[in-house]
Amino acid sequence: MIVRKKSRDYIILDDRRIEVAWFGPSPREAPTIVFLHEGLGCVSMWRDFPEKLSAATGCGAFVYSRLGYGGSDPCRLPRSIRFMFHEGLVVLPRLLEAAGIGESIIIGHSDGGSIAIIYAGGGVASGLRGLITEAAHVFCGRVTLDSIRKAMQAYVNGDLREKLEKYHGRNVGCAFWGWNDTWLHPDFVYWNIERYLPQITVPTLFIQGQEDEYGTPLQADAIYQQAGGESELLMLPNCGHAPHIQQEMPTLEAMTRFILDVV
């Protein structure tokens, strides 16, 4: 088996550059774990977790930054409040095809988890072996909106912009306001993707921290109860919105076991 070292590159879709990174075997040699980042995330904010999971499972890992994030090209603002549907039903299938990825396991964190649910349950998934989400949302809740408003204050009056700029560079304003303004749009309170859950037919693992500041256990319960196929819910104590960082080992072990069962 040929093992790739980390490779940072770009894929072009509609004349726009999308930042991508590869770890481990190529799609020709093994299934690929595809990572979808959170609402303020990007390739580099996954840190070394994709590389560790690739090594533990023998699968390849493919990480990308959505337009407006990290090293990808900027996107137009304001984002549509339906942007997650577009990402899951249009962008992700095209990106996987362009990357030559056949069999895959999708891992989505927060907004990335919601996009992953739409992809898995939207009738467009091809070669999908399993779905993992961390801190995903399927409806717009008050706790989420309250925390996003706090993040706005930290960005405008605190040091959040400076922290994010290390990862997003010139995209920092695009990344933050594209996320913040979408969730705080008056019509976004009606956003709901629960209808996609029963259409998911692959095995699923849903992970959430018990102290998640952006979502209550109601989100996790709704996902677990409504998902089609075999599903598993892991609630992690002493953990907030980023299980792969705040509870790395339990998260890595749970994901490794799950992936080895489905590949």
CATH number of the domain at 212, please.
3.40.50.1820
**Phi, psi angles (nearest 5°) of residue 5:** -75, 175
pLDDT at 229: 85
Q: How do beta strands 128-134 and 204-209 pair? A: parallel
Q: Pick the closest to residue 174 from 58, 16, 53 (CA basis).
A: 16
pLDDT at 235: 97
pLDDT at 98: 97
Tokens 């699968």 correspond to 59
The domain containing residue 43 runs over which residues?
A: 4-262
Instruction: Please state the domain count of the chain.
Output: 1
Q: What CA dihedral angle connects 167, 172, 177 and 182, to 10 degrees?
A: -40
Long-range contacts of 1-10 (CB under 8 A, 24+ apart): 1/25, 1/29, 1/30, 1/58, 2/26, 2/29, 4/60, 6/51, 8/43, 8/71, 10/71, 10/72
pLDDT at 7: 60
pLDDT at 3: 37
Tens-of-pLDDT digits for all 263 residues of the chain?
Answer: 333 445 669 999 999 999 999 999 999 999 999 999 999 999 999 999 999 999 999 999 999 999 999 999 999 999 999 999 999 999 999 999 999 999 999 999 999 999 999 999 999 999 999 999 999 999 999 999 999 999 999 999 999 999 999 999 999 999 999 999 999 999 999 999 999 999 999 999 999 999 999 999 999 999 999 999 899 999 999 999 999 999 999 999 999 999 999 99
Tokens of 24: 């481990």
Tokens of 199: 């259409």
